[in-house]
């Protein structure tokens, strides 16, 4: 089978396309013919060497395909079933614990940049009815992060106001999910063109943070304060997110694109009684709940572009150019 492998110490020029032995399933495992994957920042961090992995690691946390063989004892899947990967295959339900956060494909174990994978049968869920493999492959990391941030942790409800940042995969899914939940959305970006596309997706208020550096104050002035923020920047944007919140607001910290530490207006967060909750994707149960919800809502992902497996380095280069809008996918 063909695979993409990250050669130590990492870097887009260190991704090799190789032929490897096709794995066979053991007891409790399934073999899956991978048909699609999608790029996340986590995958880039692995490929670029920001997250150290063993030499030859097969990257990519997300994957969709069909079952091609089942090991003994497997009752949940049969040959031909379409299946979708899970970011944390050991986190079935409940809250996060260290053992549940181990085993991430493409990081702790080989991932989905391969024509075939063998994993435990419990590491997969169904794909949404009517979705293509490529569409489904956008869900396990980005969409589930947005779902947990807004639905599981912030518990948004119709009439709430949600603030999203930028146009990455999580942020776009957050706009779509928030609108499906009946929320009002304040969306930020530094691109007028991307803001126009966010409006097409249903965003109610648009703020260009390059033109309005105090965008948190602007969001609060427009809305009276937001109920929930999907925070992707970390220390460089957290202060504005706190300013955007109303009293009792909730911030789901899902990314640290501006750095791993920095100055935060803690007194303001305290006086506003703001909840700041770290969010790292979600459980298998969360994914199953999300799939049921998006089927009812009729949502479909926004896909920017697709690449074949042997052009995975070009796909990552497009990702870091920040010219994309929506998910970048691999199709096998």
pLDDT tens per residue across span 21-80: 999 999 999 999 999 999 999 999 999 999 999 999 999 999 999 999 999 999 999 999
The domain 2-138+301-331: what is its CATH number?
Answer: 3.90.180.10
Quick one: pLDDT at residue 236?
Answer: 95
Q: What angle do CA 8, 12, 18 make, to 5 degrees?
A: 70
Tell me how far apart the alpha carbons of residues 173 and 306 are, in angstroms, rounded to a whole number: 18
Quick one: pLDDT at residue 198?
Answer: 98
* pLDDT, mean of residues 124-131: 98
Determine contact, residues 36/65, Cβ cutoff 8 Å.
yes
Q: Buried b / exposed e across 271-295, counting CB within 10 Å, b at 16+?
A: ebebebeebbbbbbebbebbbebbe
* pLDDT, mean of residues 167-183: 97
Quick one: pLDDT at residue 187?
Answer: 98
Percent of the chain with pLDDT over 70: 100
Quick one: pLDDT at residue 152?
Answer: 98
Q: Where are the domains of the chain?
A: 2-138+301-331, 145-278
* pLDDT, mean of residues 125-144: 98
The domain 145-278: what is its CATH number?
Answer: 3.40.50.720
pLDDT tens per residue across span 267-302: 999 999 999 999 999 999 999 999 999 999 999 999
Omega prior to 9 cis, within 30 of 0: yes
Quick one: pLDDT at residue 88?
Answer: 98
pLDDT tens per residue across span 205-260: 999 999 999 999 999 999 999 999 999 999 999 999 999 999 999 999 999 989 88
Quick one: pLDDT at residue 207?
Answer: 98
Quick one: pLDDT at residue 72?
Answer: 98
* 3-class secondary structure, 272: coil
pLDDT tens per residue across span 96-106: 999 999 999 99
């Amino acid at each position: 089978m063909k695979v993409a492998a990250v050669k130590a110490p990492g870097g887009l020029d260190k991704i090799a396309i190789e032929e490897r032995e096709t794995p066979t399933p053991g007891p409790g495992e399934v073999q899956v013919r991978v048909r699609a994957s999608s790029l996340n920042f986590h995958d880039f961090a692995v490929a670029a060497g920001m997250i150290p992995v063993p030499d030859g690691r097969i990257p990519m946390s997300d994957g969709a395909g069909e079952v091609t063989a089942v090991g003994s004892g497997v009752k949940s899947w049969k040959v031909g079933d379409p299946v979708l990967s899970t970011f944390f295959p050991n986190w079935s339900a409940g809250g996060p614990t260290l053992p549940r956060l181990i085993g991430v494909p493409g990081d702790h174990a080989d991932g989905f940049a391969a024509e075939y994978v063998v994993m435990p049968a419990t590491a997969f869920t169904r794909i949404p009815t009517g979705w293509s493999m490529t569409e489904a492959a956008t869900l396990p990391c980005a969409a589930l992060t947005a779902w947990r941030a807004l639905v599981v942790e912030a518990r948004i409800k119709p009439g709430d106001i949600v603030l999203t940042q930028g146009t990455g995969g999580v942020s776009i899914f957050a706009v779509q999910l928030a609108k499906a939940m009946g929320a009002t959305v304040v969306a930020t970006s530094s691109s007028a063109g991307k803001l126009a596309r966010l409006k097409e997706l249903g965003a109610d208020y648009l703020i260009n943070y390059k033109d309005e550096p105090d965008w948190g104050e602007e969001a609060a002035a427009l809305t009276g304060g937001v109920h929930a923020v999907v925070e992707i920047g970390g220390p460089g944007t957290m202060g504005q997110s706190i300013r955007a919140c109303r009293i009792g607001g909730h911030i789901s910290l899902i990314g640290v694109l501006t750095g791993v530490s920095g100055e935060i207006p803690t007194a303001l967060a305290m006086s506003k009684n703001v909840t700041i909750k770290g969010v790292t994707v979600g459980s298998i149960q969360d994914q199953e709940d999300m799939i049921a919800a998006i089927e009812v809502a009729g949502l479909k992902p926004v896909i920017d572009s697709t690449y074949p497996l042997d052009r995975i380095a070009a796909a990552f280069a497009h990702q870091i150019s920040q010219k994309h809008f929506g998910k970048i996918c691999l199709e096998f």
